[in-house]
């Protein structure tokens, strides 16, 4: 039977994506694992691999199509012994827009204790073997499921082997997991309704003279940033703590470390530590020194992390992204420096993978290089804190009873009050300040 190629969910937040280009054309032979197309998500450009072999009979969604919904059919593969030209003709009428997936609708889940009217048909359906002769149409130990379905099942504590797949060849997809969750004894907590906008787009545009503005449609990244940050600001109880850090000693240490860097064959230094690298390391060590703040909130429990995974905000065209430096407390400053250069380069090229930016216990946002003295950042869930760093500047301070000039930096820690209380946040910020003002402690 023909095999539908579905728009995959390449990240937990992905609802739609842009089909940038096909790497195969109609009539090409396909092997499992072949790269079929490139998909642009809100954060990166990623490749879609074939999970079945056959011939690419029909491209349903052409190159350059925007806002294709997850699980929509984007193409069709003809299986062994099938006529690709016939399938192409039969599928030529398929719509190629978001929300029009032709994947089969999963059967209605049976109600416990109630026998369907057509008992024989129901029994035959329930006992019919799946393609491939095994549960969910997969012959190996690993159930055949989409990445999004696997994630949803894992988060809900469901075994994939207990879920009936309705996708191609019995593949488990998102709606199958949701159907299984609907049968769970305890219903999920009700979702808070989205806040309605005060004014419509048309009403806003009427406030300005015609021809006095240019409309620039939102891309997928800007839509996702707007949605996630609006949700974070509305649902996370933020509070803020500020501190001023004397960074004279840190600046002198940074200069000495960079001056002592070994040289390669071309005479260039092997590394160049940035001021931001010190901030990443200090925040990671502070989280380890105050382990009660190195946490993630969930409705059922607090997740206390063994390592300090620190996200770092990187500005890219059209928005921003925060790749994660994993176990930053275990890495040297030069390792953090080289890793951040790689992550930032891949972020700007839209080549980050989901594992490069998902998760993290805290994050760093530094606008000091733009002359911003201090600011407050919005927490990016599932993180519990975010540290905003301002510009370094000479200020007059009191030292040993007399005035002196020192290079000072203001920082603001945003905390999720559900996970980090006021005193706990103060301890975390104090640990960070101590490391910044005594930076030799980062080299131990």
Residues 181/153, Cβ–Cβ less than 8 Å: no
- The answer to whether residues 72 and 123 belong to one domain is no
What tokens were used for 101?
């997936």
- The answer to whether residues 425 and 313 belong to one domain is yes
With H, G, I as helix, E, B as strand and everything else as coil, classify residue 175: helix
Confidence of residue 161 (pLDDT cuts 50, 70, 90): confident
- The domain tally of the chain equals 3
- The residue whose two tokens read 């992905």 is 14
For residue 103, the model assigns a pLDDT of 40
Tell me the average pLDDT across 391-413: 95
- The answer to whether residues 83 and 140 belong to one domain is no
In our burial notation (b when 16+ CB lie closer than 10 A, e otherwise), range 58-70 reads: bbbbeeebebbbb
Sequence-distant contacts of 365-372: CB under 8 A, at least 24 apart: 365/313, 365/322, 365/389, 366/276, 366/279, 366/313, 367/391, 368/275, 368/392, 368/409
Final residue belonging to a domain, choices 72, 90, 108? 90
The 10s digit of each residue's pLDDT in 224-235 is 888 888 899 999
- The residue whose two tokens read 């911003």 is 372
For residue 365, the model assigns a pLDDT of 97
Is 218 known to be catalytic?
no
For residue 99, the model assigns a pLDDT of 40
- The answer to whether residues 258 and 337 belong to one domain is yes
- The residue whose two tokens read 């890219």 is 316
- The answer to whether residues 37 and 138 belong to one domain is no
> Is there a domain that residue 337 lies in?
yes
> Is there a domain that residue 196 lies in?
no
What tokens were used for 62?
């052409």
The 10s digit of each residue's pLDDT in 258-314 is 999 998 888 888 889 999 999 999 999 999 999 999 999 999 999 999 999 999 999
CATH number of the domain that 13 lies in?
2.40.50.100
Final residue belonging to a domain, choices 153, 182, 211? 182
- The answer to whether residues 286 and 409 belong to one domain is yes
CATH number of the domain that 124 lies in?
4.10.320.10
pLDDT exceeds 80 at position 356: yes
Q: What is the mean pLDDT of the chain?
A: 82
- The answer to whether residues 22 and 153 belong to one domain is no
- The answer to whether residues 124 and 242 belong to one domain is no
> Is there a domain that residue 15 lies in?
yes
> Is there a domain that residue 111 lies in?
no
For residue 390, the model assigns a pLDDT of 97
CATH number of the domain that 336 lies in?
3.30.559.10
> Is there a domain that residue 309 lies in?
yes
The 10s digit of each residue's pLDDT in 65-113 is 888 888 888 888 887 666 656 555 555 545 444 444 434 444 444 434 4
- The answer to whether residues 432 and 359 belong to one domain is yes
Nearest C-alpha neighbor of 352 from the set 381, 308, 311? 311
> Is there a domain that residue 423 lies in?
yes
Structural domain harbouring 17? 3-90
DSSP letter string, 19-85 = EEEESS-TT-EE-TT-EEEEEE-SS-EEEEE-SS-EEEEEESS-TTEEEEETT-EEEEEE-TT--HH
- The answer to whether residues 79 and 163 belong to one domain is no
**Candidates 138, 169, 305, 417; catalytic one:** 417
- The answer to whether residues 305 and 383 belong to one domain is yes
> Is there a domain that residue 412 lies in?
yes
Q: How far does CA 336 lie from the centroid of its chain? A: 21
Which strand (E) or helix (H) includes residue 177? helix 174-182
For residue 395, the model assigns a pLDDT of 96
> Is there a domain that residue 208 lies in?
no
Which region among 122-126, 229-233, 267-271, 402-406 has the lowest average model confidence (pLDDT)? Answer: 122-126
- The answer to whether residues 59 and 126 belong to one domain is no
Q: How many helices (H) and strands (E) does the chain have?
A: 11, 18
Residues 143/39, Cβ–Cβ less than 8 Å: no
For residue 243, the model assigns a pLDDT of 97
Which region among 47-51, 84-88, 320-324 has the lowest average model confidence (pLDDT)? Answer: 84-88
């Amino acid at each position: 039977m023909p095999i539908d190629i579905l728009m995959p969910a390449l990240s937990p937040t992905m609802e739609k994506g842009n089909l940038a280009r096909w790497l195969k054309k109609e009539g090409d032979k396909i092997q499992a694992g072949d790269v079929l197309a490139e998909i642009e998500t809100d954060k990166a450009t990623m490749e879609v691999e074939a999970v079945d072999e056959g011939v690419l009979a029909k491209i349903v969604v052409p190159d350059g199509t925007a806002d294709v919904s997850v699980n929509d059919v984007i193409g069709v593969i003809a299986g062994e012994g099938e006529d690709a030209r016939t399938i192409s003709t039969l599928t030529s009428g398929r719509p190629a827009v978001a929300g029009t997936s032709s994947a089969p609708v999963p059967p209605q889940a049976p109600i416990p204790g109630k026998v369907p009217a057509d008992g024989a048909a129901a029994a035959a359906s329930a006992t019919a073997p799946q393609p491939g002769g095994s549960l969910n149409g997969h012959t190996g130990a690993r159930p055949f499921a989409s990445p999004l379905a696997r994630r949803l099942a894992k988060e809900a504590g469901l075994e994939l082997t207990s879920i009936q797949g309705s996708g191609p060849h019995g593949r488990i997809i998102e709606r199958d997991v949701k159907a299984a969750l609907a049968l769970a004894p305890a219903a999920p907590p009700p979702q808070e309704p989205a806040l309605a906008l005060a004014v419509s787009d048309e009403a806003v545009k009427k406030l300005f003279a015609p021809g006095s503005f240019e409309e620039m449609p939102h891309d997928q990244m800007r839509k996702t940033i707007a949605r996630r940050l609006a949700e974070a600001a509305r649902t996370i109880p933020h509070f803020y703590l500020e501190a001023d850090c004397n960074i004279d000693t840190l600046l002198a240490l940074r200069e000495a470390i960079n001056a002592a860097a070994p040289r390669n064959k071309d005479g260039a230094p092997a590394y160049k530590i940035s001021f931001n690298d010190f901030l990443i390391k200090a925040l990671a060590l502070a989280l380890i020194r105050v382990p009660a703040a190195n946490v993630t909130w969930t409705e059922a429990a607090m997740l206390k992390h063994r390592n300090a995974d620190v996200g770092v905000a990187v500005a890219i065209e059209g928005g921003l992204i925060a790749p994660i430096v994993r176990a930053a407390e275990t890495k040297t400053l030069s390792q953090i420096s080289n890793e951040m250069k790689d992550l930032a380069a891949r972020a700007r090229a839209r080549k980050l993978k989901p594992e490069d930016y998902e998760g993290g216990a805290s994050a760093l946002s530094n606008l000091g290089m733009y002359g911003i003295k201090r600011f407050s950042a919005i927490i990016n869930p599932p993180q519990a804190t975010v540290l905003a760093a301002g510009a370094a500047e000479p200020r007059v301070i009191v030292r040993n009873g007399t005035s002196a000039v020192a290079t000072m930096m203001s920082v603001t820690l945003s905390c999720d009050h559900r996970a980090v209380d006021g005193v706990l946040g103060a301890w975390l910020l104090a640990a960070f300040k101590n490391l910044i003002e005594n930076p030799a402690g980062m080299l131990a």
